[in-house]
Structure 1
Amino acid sequence: MNRLKGMIPTIVRSGANMLDGWSKLILSGASEIDVQKEFNDLTADVISRTAFGSSLTEGKHIFEMQNKQMILVVDSFHSVYIPGFRFLPTAKNRQRWNVEKEIRRSFRQIIDGRERTAITEKSGRYGADLLGFMMSESKEQGRVNVKSNGSLSTEEIIDELKTFYFAGHESTSVLLQWSIILLGIHQDWQERGRREVMEVCAKNNYPDADSLSRLKTVGMIINEVLRLYPPAAHILRMAHEPMKLGRLSIPAGTQLEIPILAIHHDPALWADDANDFNPGRFNEGIAKAAKHPMAFMPFSAGPTICVGQNFALLEAKLVLAMILQKFSFVTSPSYTHAPSLLPNLKPEYGAQLIFRME
């Protein structure tokens, strides 16, 4: 968390730039904004700066390639599986191979640039961001592509970068989209959140590490959004040894699907208002929000819980508080409610809202 707190000024700068753009649009008379693209750009910029020390401009090509890859992956999920078919040089397969090759080339170019800079400056340092940390840990005699015991090879670093680049911005963007949509519908909770932000931060002081910890209502709102619209609708786990699950005997090698979306909407766990937006259910914390302490798992749970959970929650809470400081908003008549799983649960036709400056 101490590392994450150091990233707050960077997130604030990116968020302030986005909000300045909104203010200009409103002053020009354009009050309706589709926040889907806005949040995609914002979270992409934030993860680029905090994890890789670059701006959205430098990472834009990689994001475009990974979005193409995501669409191709989802398309393969909807196709009939034929063993060995993925090795055939079909048009779709060639497209998948080329996209993957281009993504890895782009990341390798960033890594090589860090290596050249470290050699030129004779500093032995690769940067204070996520990439720099991984490269510093993995270097051997000044080269990260020499794999030593316990270190990461260049290809493994690229795999980690791919995960962070995708999950580090997509999930947070979707969380912010649903948060704004639901607050646009439920004006009472929007006003409660705004009152809290004003009391803790005032109008012109953006939140910092200290004030974020005191935004209880904003935290409850985010938890309820994650309950209703978890980024991952389900997760898969493998039983590596025989085990008992209640009355069930699970053989080793069995793949289990955990339906997070269904669990989060189960009236047996969340009472009769399970499908309603009610952040108040988290008033006494996550463990007491439902009839079972493990009923809430938007980022999975246990040893394999999402490594980006704290980062996503920090960024979402900070940006949402900044928005509540500056604007009031209502869901636009042009908004169409159509949750789509591609692969995160997000609004299929955008997130249109009408904003007014406070």
Structure 2
Amino acid sequence: MVVCIAILIFLYMFFKVAYDTVTCYWLSPRRIRKVMENQGVNGPKPRFLVGNILEMTSLLAQSTSSDMDSIHHDIVGRLLPHYTVWSKIYGKRFVYWNGIEPRMCLTEPELIKELLSKYSTISGKSWQQQQGSKHFIGRGLLMANGEDWCHQRHIVAPAFMGDKLKSYAGYMVECTKQMLESLENALETGQTEVEIGEYMTRLTADIISRTEFDNNYEKGKQIFHLLTDLQRLCAQASRHLWFPGSRFFPSKYNREIKSLKMEVETLLMEIIQSRKDCVEIGRSESYGNDLVGMLLSEMKKRRESNKFSLNLQLVMDECKTFFFAGHETTALLLTWTVMLLASNPIWQQKLREEVKQVCTNGGEPSVDQLSKLTLLSMVINESLRLYPPASVLPRMAFEDIKLGELFIPKGLSIWIPVLAIHHSEEIWGKDVNEFNPSRFASYASGRHFIPFAAGPRNCVGQSFALMEAKIILSMLISRFSFTISENYRHAPVIVLTIKPKHGVQICLKPLD
């Protein structure tokens, strides 16, 4: 009798797994494809399991095989070659396949606005995205969905608002001073040029270490280096997610990913445990004023009130998420902005004059002065338009929804090509691929500008990033003038974010 029950359970589990697999890999994708074709939304024919991955990989390899012949900003065909090819064939809307995941490319501003503002809780990150970043940033705010996302956003948002946000300015100024001194020291040793991307990456890592971990600043820098390696490996592993069970293969990069993840979480647990110990033995009345301290305080409150569970794993995932989002995207914004200013000395001088007029403390801005740096805001926006750190904005529909007259079936991912929208001649005019910050002099320009997404699910750290960028750039241009080096080779590439393949080499000259 017991044997019969065991066999029945085994058969039930076997057929359930088999049915779920067939549904996931065959029935659901086929249903979605049919629904979209009936509405006139077509796309390239997918292959079994791999979808259109091989075509996308081939197109990208061709487009980025060599550096660009000059510094110009017509980069959509280079970085999103599949979008360029397929949009010409199938129009503004088309469906392509990343393995077994159907993705609809959407570029119509009104439909994008409706999606981002109206469906924030029933659309989010897909299984493929979550699996691809599981070991990197886990289930932090960036990868959370539905009610979990609502709770996590509510917990984290206060760290980037009001007086709390203003309190970070001192860290930013202090870290920037140290970076400027290191640049001066490099010039004194006879260096004629520097790779500014390295300096900006270290600087933003220092700032996020101090604001996230405060007195555990050295451990924060260790975490930064480990997460950088983890990001590269996870990007490599996520290319194989279309193959069933690939994430369980004992491949070299899968083993390295798990090892690095363990190192990162060991360091985070040391920071967290030291805070908890200090409170428990009475050496401290709080867990600290940084992000870690705020999350631990919230975890304790919610445990006592039986609200949404915030456990240690989620605290660590939030720390990893904000470490990644808080340093890399800002470092890239700064690096591309310096490249653009080094190539456009007229705008560089305009900013220098504005900073001199507004910032009376030798180019060191106070929080209240930042809003008066209007030209600097325009330059930053134009940099984000031309080189948005994230080239696409993904959302998956978890329920059937309607966008205008378009029916979106449950399970369809919608991919918004931010880079293509920011470089659309139809939206921005004939000078779309030129550096022209003046286009942001009017408020209307911002309607199709989405570097930080939009709606309820926009980037929670947007104000932090913009404050940081303004402080760093105003201090840099008040201390140095800079030109692009002859050694600079313009070659944007995508590794999760848009990066300069060979860095950005500039020639610095100290100002009196």
Asked if these proteins are the same fold (TM beyond 0.5), I'd say yes
Which residue of structure 2 lines up, in the alignment, with residue 234 of structure 1?
392
Which residue identity is paired with 1:162? Answer: K
Q: Distance in 1 between matches of 2:312 and 2:224?
A: 20
| Mapped contact 1:134–1:157 kept (Cα < 8 A) | yes
Secondary structure of the 1:310 match is: helix
Which residue of structure 1 lines up, in the alignment, with residue 506 of structure 2?
353
Q: CA RMSD in A?
A: 1.8
Which residue of structure 1 lines up, in the alignment, with residue 407 of structure 2?
249
Secondary structure of the 2:362 match is: coil
Which residue of structure 1 lines up, in the alignment, with residue 466 of structure 2?
313
Displacement of 1:300 in angstroms is 0.8
Displacement of 1:134 in angstroms is 0.8
Count of aligned pairs between the two proteins: 350
Per the normalisation by structure 1, the TM-score is 0.93
Q: Distance in 1 between matches of 2:491 and 2:217?
A: 28
Structure 2 unaligned blocks of 5 or more: 1-161
Where in structure 2 are the equivalents of 1:1-358 lying within 5 Å?
1-54=162-215, 56-79=217-240, 81-139=242-300, 148-202=306-360, 204-285=362-443, 288-289=444-445, 293=447, 295-358=448-511
Secondary structure of the 1:116 match is: helix
Q: Distance in 2 between matches of 1:80 and 1:200?
A: 51
Which residue identity is paired with 2:500? Answer: P
User: Quick one: structure 1 residues 311 and 13, their matched pair in 2 at CA, closer, same or farther if it must change by over 3 Å?
Assistant: same
Displacement of 1:282 in angstroms is 0.3
Q: Distance in 2 between matches of 1:221 and 1:89?
A: 47
Secondary structure of the 1:219 match is: helix
Which residue identity is paired with 2:195? Answer: D
User: Quick one: structure 1 residues 97 and 60, their matched pair in 2 at CA, closer, same or farther if it must change by over 3 Å?
Assistant: same
Which residue identity is paired with 2:184? Answer: S
Flag the structure with larger Rg: 2
| More displaced 10-residue stretch of structure 1: 30-39 or 246-255 | 246-255
Displacement of 1:70 in angstroms is 0.7
Q: Distance in 1 between matches of 2:500 and 2:217?
A: 23
Q: Distance in 1 between matches of 2:499 and 2:255?
A: 28
User: Quick one: structure 1 residues 21 and 270, their matched pair in 2 at CA, closer, same or farther if it must change by over 3 Å?
Assistant: same
**Identical positions, percent:** 39
Deviations 1:168-200 (A, max 9, x none): 100000000001000000111111111100111
Q: Distance in 1 between matches of 2:417 and 2:215?
A: 36
Structure 1 unaligned blocks of 5 or more: none
Q: Distance in 2 between matches of 1:145 and 1:38?
A: 41
Secondary structure of the 1:53 match is: helix
Q: Distance in 2 between matches of 1:175 and 1:205?
A: 20
Q: Distance in 1 between matches of 2:495 and 2:427?
A: 27
Q: Distance in 2 between matches of 1:34 and 1:51?
A: 27
Displacement of 1:202 in angstroms is 3.8
Q: Distance in 1 between matches of 2:419 and 2:394?
A: 13
Q: Distance in 1 between matches of 2:470 and 2:423?
A: 23
Q: Distance in 1 between matches of 2:229 and 2:283?
A: 38
Q: Distance in 2 between matches of 1:80 and 1:55?
A: 36
Deviations 1:195-223 (A, max 9, x none): 10011114625100111110000000000
Q: Distance in 1 between matches of 2:281 and 2:271?
A: 15
Displacement of 1:26 in angstroms is 2.1
| Mapped contact 1:138–1:147 kept (Cα < 8 A) | no
Which residue identity is paired with 1:298? Answer: P
| Mapped contact 2:396–2:411 kept (Cα < 8 A) | yes
Q: Distance in 1 between matches of 2:304 and 2:243?
A: 38
Per the normalisation by structure 2, the TM-score is 0.66
Displacement of 1:336 in angstroms is 0.9
Displacement of 1:55 in angstroms is 5.9
More helix by share: 2
| Mapped contact 1:44–1:169 kept (Cα < 8 A) | yes
Q: Distance in 1 between matches of 2:445 and 2:204?
A: 29
Displacement of 1:145 in angstroms is 8.7
Displacement of 1:5 in angstroms is 1.1
Q: Distance in 2 between matches of 1:2 and 1:64?
A: 30
